[in-house]
Chains A and B, each alone.
Chain A
Amino acid sequence: MTSDRAVTSDGSGPVPGTAGHAPGKPAGQVSGRPDGEWQRVHPASPFIRGWVALAAICFFFGRDIFERMLQGRPLLDELYEGRVPFLLAGGGLVLLLSVLGFIMTWYFTRYQVAEGYVRVNTGFLFKQQRQARLDRVQAIDIVQPLLARIFGLAELKFEVADAGESAVRLAYLRVDDARQLRATILARAAGLEPDPERPQAALPEAPEYAVLSVPPSRLVGSLLLSEQSFFVVLGAVASVVLSAVTENRGFYFYLIPAALGLAAAYWGSFNKGYNFTAAISPDGIRLRYGLLDTLAQTLPPGRIQALKVTQPPLWRIFGWYRMQVNVAGYGNAGSNGEGATRTTLLPVGLLDDVMRMLSLVLPDPGTPEPVRVFSAGLTGLAPAGERSGAEAAQPGEAEGGFVTSPRRVRLLAPLGWRRNGFTATATALLIRSGRVWRELVVVPHQRTQSMALHQGPLARRFRVADLVLHTTAGPVSPRLIQAGLDEARALFDAQAARAREARKRQTSEQWLAQVAQTAPAAVAAVAAVSEAGATGEAAPADTPPAGPGPETPDLHTPHHRQDQQKGPEHG
Chain B
Amino acid sequence: MPTEAIDPPGIAWLRVSPKYVTVRLVEWAIGNLIALAVLSLPLAFTLMGWWTWPPLWLAVTVPAVMLVLALWRLALIPRQVRAIGYAERDDDLLIRGGIFFQRTLVVPYGRMQYVDIGVGPVERSLGLCTLKLHTASAGTNAEIPGLPADEGARLREQLSARGAARLAGL
Contacts and interface: CB of A to CB of B under 8 A. Distances in A.
B7 interface: yes
Contacts of B110: 500, 503
A463 B4 contact: yes
Nearest to B7: A453
Given A450-B137, A461-B2, 20 more contacts: A161-B136, A303-B170, A449-B111, A450-B106, A453-B6, A453-B103, A457-B1, A457-B100, A457-B101, A460-B3, A463-B4, A470-B137, A470-B139, A471-B139, A472-B137, A485-B6, A496-B91, A496-B92, A496-B108, A503-B166
The secondary-structure label for the interface of chain A is mixed
Q: Ordered nearest first, which 8 A-B pairs have the shortest CB separation?
A: A470-B137, A470-B139, A449-B137, A452-B105, A450-B107, A453-B104, A449-B135, A503-B168
24 contacts: A138-B170, A447-B170, A448-B111, A449-B111, A449-B140, A450-B106, A450-B139, A452-B103, A452-B104, A452-B105, A453-B105, A457-B1, A457-B100, A460-B2, A460-B4, A461-B1, A470-B137, A471-B137, A472-B170, A485-B6, A496-B108, A500-B91, A500-B92, A506-B168
B7 A499 contact: no
A472 B170 CA distance: 9
A460 B142 CA distance: 23
Interface in A473-504: 473, 477, 485, 488-489, 492-493, 496, 499-500, 503
B6 A465 contact: yes
A530 interface: no
A489 B6 CA distance: 7
Interface of B: 1-4, 6-8, 91-92, 100-108, 110-111, 135-140, 142, 166, 168-170
B101 to A, nearest CB: 5
A477 B138 CA distance: 11
A406 B91 CA distance: 31
A426 to B, nearest CB: 18
A451 B168 contact: no
Contacts of B137: 449-450, 470-473
Contact of B139 (A161, A453, A477, A499): A477
A506 B169 contact: yes
A287 interface: no
Nearest to A508: B169
Contacts of A451: 105-106
Contacts of B107: 450
B165 to A, nearest CB: 12
Contacts of A456: 100-101
Contacts of B142: 450
B18 to A, nearest CB: 25
A450 B170 contact: no
Interface in A262-292: none
A163 interface: yes
A351 to B, nearest CB: 30
Contacts of A460: 1-4, 102
Contact of A492 (B4, B101, B104, B169): B104
B148 to A, nearest CB: 25
A304 to B, nearest CB: 11
A328 interface: yes
Nearest to B101: A456
Given A161-B170, A463-B4, A454 B140 contact: no
A472 B134 CA distance: 12
B140 to A, nearest CB: 5
A463 B100 CA distance: 13
A36 to B, nearest CB: 25
B106 to A, nearest CB: 5
Contacts of B103: 452-455
Contacts of B100: 456-457
B140 A492 contact: no
Contacts of B1: 457, 460-461
Contact of A472 (B4, B6, B102, B136): B136
A305 interface: yes
A468 interface: yes
Contacts of A489: 6-8
A176 interface: no
A198 B104 CA distance: 56
Given A449-B135, A463-B4, A471-B137, A509 B105 contact: no
A500 B108 contact: yes
Interface string A42-58: 00000000000000000
A452 B106 contact: yes
A161 B135 CA distance: 11
Nearest to B94: A496
Contacts of A503: 108, 110, 166, 168
A305 B139 CA distance: 14
Contact of A328 (B4, B102, B170): B170
A460 B7 CA distance: 13
Contacts of B8: 489, 492-493
Interface string A243-273: 0000000000000000000000000000000
Given A460-B2, A485-B6, A509 B139 contact: no
Contact of A463 (B2, B91, B170): B2
Contacts of B166: 503
B1 to A, nearest CB: 6
B105 to A, nearest CB: 4
Nearest to A446: B168
B111 A450 contact: yes
Q: Which of B105, B136, B138, B170 has the most CB of A within 10 A?
A: B170
A305 B136 CA distance: 11
A95 B2 CA distance: 75
Contacts of B136: 161, 328, 449, 472
A164 B57 CA distance: 51
Interface string A210-254: 000000000000000000000000000000000000000000000
A492 B139 contact: no
A496 B106 contact: yes
A163 B135 CA distance: 12
A305 B107 CA distance: 16
